[in-house]
Structure 1
Amino acid sequence: MGWRWAGAAAAAVALPLLIVVFVFAQPPVPADGAEDAVPSHRALSDIPPSYMRWYMDAAQTCPGLSWTVLAAVGKVESDHGRDPASRRPNTAGARGPMQFLPATFAAYTVDGNGDGRTDVYDPADAIPTAAACLCASGAATDIRKALFAYNHAGWYVDRVLAKAAEYGTAVSAVAGDLVEVILAYARRQIGKPYIWGGTGPDGYDCSGIVYMAYKAAGVTIPRTTFGQWPFGVRIPAGQEQPGDLVFFSSGPGNAPDRPGHVALVIGGGKAIEARCTKCGPIKITAYGSRRNIVGFTRPLANRKIEQQLSDSPSWASAPPP
């Protein structure tokens, strides 16, 4: 079990396996932890389901931090809370499943389960606090540096990253195949009219074409813009990828947390968009200079999608509607 140096600078989180045929074919997650990943067999057999959920949820609070790294920290520090020594302070004063010194925990503390208190021994609090600590140490850009700040030992950094590689299986191939189906469906609708409330085949509204494009890939997302906005994982501007969604303050939605318009990102600052009745047919548009962008989301990063795909693993063999 790793332990924290008393003067650590850091003072100053079973899910179904996605489409097995793709998972076995993928290489381990990169050592820098930057690429998102689906759980490997080793991860599913070793990580308690509740811990898996906390690792994944906590990682989403720090773009660029992989859940596999958080899980690897939890493994090295306390065997995911199973090491009895983690239930009391060690000789250096570190405690809990993520082995925090009291001062470090206080500096980055997160009430992960919203119960109004923070407990270093509660993984629901300790894991998101670890994510906050790593994020503050630059995990998004230099995971080795962040891990060294978490525990000043080169062997510790190497051990965590090696374990992270065991836990993760790159998701890019799975997501990439889904995105190809999504974009292919949307492209076939170019030139069709905008129809309020439309979900095809003769016409679509903005969220209708997005909804049906995802449905073509065997994925169900909310039907309306108002539902699609909170469904996906937020993506910083400039990091959006094909298949992501771009939202605008427009029409019936003008509040920052309630955008009223959506388009499907295809890359290069462009999107397939069913904009409005007077705006002409569905087309590819450039969104970079539009001032009413609210933000970007990635629906495929929602954990509910993993469940949908595991329940219907034969999606890839079915032709899109």
Structure 2
Amino acid sequence: MDLATTSTGVASFNVNVSKLGQNEIPEEYVKYYKDAGEKFGVPWTLISAIHRVETNFSSDLNTSSTGAIGHTQFQKATWLGWDYPGRDRLGDLKVADSILMDPAKIRQFRGFGTDCDNDGKANPFSLADAMCSTAKYLADNGGKKGDWRGAVYAYNHAGWYVNRVFKYYNSYTSNVKTVSVGSPATVVSKGGNGVIEKAIATGETIVGRSPYNFGGGRTIRDVERRSFDCSSFIRWAFSEAGTDLGPLDTTTTDTLVRLGKPVQPNQIRRGDLIFFDTYKKNGHVAIALDNNGNFLHDGSTKGVWKNNLSESYYKRVFKGVVRRIVE
């Protein structure tokens, strides 16, 4: 079988499989990957990489510890729709299969389950349905705009997961530009006050209007909804000002604290990044507004807000770590 051609004889998203992919991807699944990829505009080797990571090509179909099910491990709430009542915070549901797999219910509750084998059910244990649902999820969460890393991050909010999926995707695919899983740039911007003022002005537009979302802001969809945590908020604000602080899906306080150059606390100026030891060392970050302790940030209590270093909590967790990223 020619792995680079779909069942209809049309190239599936112009993807050619590598020698490793030919040896490792089970041939009996290729039709499902290609059909799903063609239907939703997703590289079929990316679907195969997710299948590899999630269930080792369906060799382990046990329900996960969080309740994820099927060939590509969907949470039931993601399959049926997060608008369906009764889910827990991780997306598990107590729901009958007759509801979970009902295409009409899935449309009603805005889920991703898809009936691709046309048997009247969207079944996560059907290979055709599972691969189409995975492709639809990727397409709707950044893939349509070419943000494949963001789409995979939306599938599972973990940097290690994204890197693992792309390790297989890059190794299975022979004619696409390798998608980097490397670290972000570490140079200081020379944009001066113009960059600083635009970044701060951008952030100030959502003060009091953007609740904190731990792990949020790492997909195009989250950015469009202005749903951030502290580090993704900082990245977004400076990105809007033309300064790249790192990849959309993997920028964290751990990467931001390595950018720019260190600054003494008594030399803080507008636009510097201030770090706090909250749940971990350098676990929270803010943008300095002046040299009087005022800062702008996305905090767990009020979301995007302004505070001051003299406040008791911030005085306690600020340990003097400041980085200057713009000069």
- Name the TM-score class by shorter chain: 0.3 to 0.5
Higher relative CO (CA 8 A, sep ≥ 6), structure 1 or 2?
1
TM-score normalised by length of structure 2: 0.40
